[in-house]
Amino acid sequence: MLSIGIIGLPNVGKSTLFNVLTAGQANVSNYPFTTIDSNTGMVPVPDQRLEKLNELLSPEECTPCFIQFIDIAGLVKGASKGEGLGNQFLGNIREVDALAHVVRCFQEPDVAHVLENVDPVRDLEVIETELLLADLEVLNRAIEKRQRIWQTVPREHAREKKRWLLYREKLEEGIPLSSIDLTREDQSELKGLGILTGKPVLYVANLSESEYQESNRPCLEKLKESTILQNSSSAAEAVTVSARLEWEVQQLEMEERAEFMKELNMTETGLEQLVRKAFRLLGLITFYTIANEKLRAWEVERETRAPQAAGKVHSDMEQGFIRAHVASFEDLCQHGSFQQLNRLGRVRTEGKDYPVQDGDVIQFFFNP
Ligand SMILES: Nc1nc2c(ncn2[C@@H]2O[C@H](COP(=O)(O)OP(=O)(O)O)[C@@H](O)[C@H]2O)c(=O)[nH]1
Ligand SMILES: [Mg+2]
């Protein structure tokens, strides 16, 4: 399950956003997840295709993907040196797959700003610097520990040494590690080391209610021009919300929401926007399975092959994988059922090299 840590300075709207995102918090008993506390929420991923399939096929069960949000408190200037909730904060954030970095663009004189005035670009830099410093410390400690083994068996660890020293060099130059070329293995190594700047970041601009509703958005424009965003591979995935407005929308009955959202020029909820952009940033796609009257959505990384996708469902299915029968979501919607698609010859048989596509509906065959 994808997990996203919400970070940012105090009083920027993190908890407001977290509460909005997790208001539909799920409690799925057959899911082996850690306990959900007040700072952690597990939320069903909004998925219109799944809803459509559910309507069409009326299965007994319908299970969406889930996403976990963690409201990470306590990041202030000096956090990397253990100020405030520093260390605890840094512990929480090390485990997540991606960061949602909330930046305050709303004014609101009643809500104090820890650095006195509202300045999203400076705030961004303050947080980014803390992450860089925290990483440098972690990496230096890791390098220290490896010195001996690097000396005794240099050949075996040549690549590791080269990479780690490169990381240190970049961090010292103030460059977040997500902006250098990282393979999936590099990324998971960095995650294991507890490196923060290697994680993909979704920048979330929390706008004032008035700026949100205008097409002229000076504060957002300023933010988008900041060097951090310009140099980031995820600049295109910047998320624009007004946490306060999102909260107001949520207070309404379902039927009234659409109307109010239209009035506010809100085309998507914050959750929909975050999920969509997070999937794109992380290169995730969704496929669907229907078996024994159970319809279910699964997320995988793009280019995942059929057996590994089957392995998401059950490890036996990966080991004993024989073949997959695949239909597209569009075809299924158009023709109404798998049987009908079979008759029309529109169900493909795919083998172990097949890269699963976004929107595939798959039946796996395997040797138990
Ligand atoms: N006007 C306005 N106020 C907001 C917005 N988001 C949060 N706030 C207010 O800012 C204060 C701090 O918000 P909170 O979510 O607790 O910030 P956190 O410290 O980052 O978790 C609260 O009083 C919120 O109501 C917003 O989009 N607009
Ligand atoms: Mg908070």
pLDDT tens for each residue of 16-51: 999 999 886 766 555 554 445 668 888 999 999 999
Total number of domains constituting the chain = 2
- Of ligand 1's atoms, which has the minimum distance to the CA of residue 18? 15
Does residue 210 form part of some domain?
yes
The domain boundary residue, chosen from 256, 281, 306: 281
Q: What percent of the chain has pLDDT over 70?
A: 90
Residue 34: per-residue pLDDT = 46
User: For the residues 323-341, what does the mean pLDDT come to?
Assistant: 94
Domain of residue 34 covers 2-45+65-281
The domain boundary residue, chosen from 260, 281, 302: 281
Ligand 2 centroid distance, CA of 338 (Å)? 48
The residue among 72 and 77 whose pLDDT is bigger is 72
Residue 115: per-residue pLDDT = 82
Does residue 161 form part of some domain?
yes
Ligand 1 centroid distance, CA of 69 (Å)? 17
The residue among 241 and 75 whose pLDDT is bigger is 241
pLDDT tens for each residue of 190-222: 988 989 999 999 999 999 999 898 888 888 888
- Bridge-based pairing of strands 66-71 and 2-7 is parallel
Q: Are residues 256 and 121 in the same domain?
A: yes
Q: Which residue has the tokens 């005035």?
A: 117
Q: Are residues 155 and 297 in the same domain?
A: no
**Helix H segments across the chain?**
14-21, 48-57, 86-94, 120-152, 158-172, 184-193, 209-213, 218-224, 227-231, 243-250, 254-263, 270-282, 306-313, 315-319, 329-335, 338-343
Position 76 pLDDT exceeds 80: no
Indicate the SS3 state at residue 221.
helix
Task: Give me the CATH number covering residue 107.
Answer: 3.40.50.300
Q: Are residues 192 and 311 in the same domain?
A: no
- Of ligand 1's atoms, which has the minimum distance to the CA of residue 19? 15
Q: Are residues 274 and 297 in the same domain?
A: no
pLDDT tens for each residue of 223-279: 888 888 887 766 667 899 999 999 999 899 988 999 999 999 899 999 999 999 999
Q: Are residues 323 and 177 in the same domain?
A: no
Is 232's C-beta closer than 6 angstroms to any atom of ligand 1?
no
Q: Which residue has the tokens 């940033």?
A: 281
Position 67 pLDDT exceeds 60: yes
Residue 366 buriedness (CB in 10 A; 0-12 / 13-18 / 19+): middle
Structure tokens at 85: 């909730």
Residue 89: per-residue pLDDT = 60
Sign for the CA dihedral angle at 76, 80, 82, 87 comes to positive
- pTM attached to this predicted model: 0.90
Going by alpha carbons, the residue nearest to atom 26 of ligand 1 is: 244
Task: Give me the CATH number covering residue 345.
Answer: 3.10.20.30
Ligand 2 centroid distance, CA of 19 (Å)? 10
Ligand 1 pocket: which of 111, 204, 219, 266 to mutate (most atoms within 8 A of CB): 111
Ligand 2 centroid distance, CA of 5 (Å)? 12
Residue 103: per-residue pLDDT = 95
Q: Are residues 209 and 327 in the same domain?
A: no
Cβ–Cβ < 8 Å for 14, 7: yes
pLDDT tens for each residue of 168-195: 999 999 999 988 888 888 988 998 898 9
Going by alpha carbons, the residue nearest to atom 11 of ligand 1 is: 11
Does residue 292 form part of some domain?
yes
Does residue 56 form part of some domain?
no
The conformation of residue 7, written as its DSSP 8-state character, comes to: E
Report how far residue 104's alpha carbon sits from residue 239's, in angstroms, rounded to the nearest whole number: 12
Ligand 1 centroid distance, CA of 339 (Å)? 52
User: For the residues 69-93, what does the mean pLDDT come to?
Assistant: 68
Is 234's C-beta closer than 6 angstroms to any atom of ligand 1?
no
Q: Are residues 201 and 324 in the same domain?
A: no
The domain boundary residue, chosen from 258, 281, 304: 281
Does residue 288 form part of some domain?
yes
Q: Are residues 81 and 176 in the same domain?
A: yes
Q: Are residues 243 and 296 in the same domain?
A: no
pLDDT tens for each residue of 102-155: 999 998 888 888 788 889 999 999 999 989 998 999 999 999 999 999 999 989
Report how far residue 278's alpha carbon sits from residue 179's, in angstroms, rounded to the nearest whole number: 17
The residue among 76 and 354 whose pLDDT is bigger is 354
Position 363 pLDDT exceeds 90: yes
Position 325 pLDDT exceeds 60: yes
Q: Are residues 220 and 100 in the same domain?
A: yes
Q: Are residues 118 and 247 in the same domain?
A: yes
Ligand 2 centroid distance, CA of 13 (Å)? 7
Cβ–Cβ < 8 Å for 284, 301: yes
Residue 229: per-residue pLDDT = 82
Does residue 209 form part of some domain?
yes
At 257, the amino acid letter reads R
Does residue 55 form part of some domain?
no
The per-residue b/e assignment along 67-98, b for 16 or more CB within 10 angstroms, e otherwise, is bbbbbbbbbbeebbeeebbbeebbebbbebbb
Q: Calculate the average pLDDT of the chain.
A: 89
Is 39's C-beta closer than 6 angstroms to any atom of ligand 1?
no
Ligand 1 pocket: which of 9, 12, 16, 76 to mutate (most atoms within 8 A of CB): 16
Does residue 112 form part of some domain?
yes
Q: Are residues 276 and 348 in the same domain?
A: no
Cβ neighbours around 294 below 10 Å, total: 12
Report how far residue 70's alpha carbon sits from residue 90's, in angstroms, rounded to the nearest whole number: 12
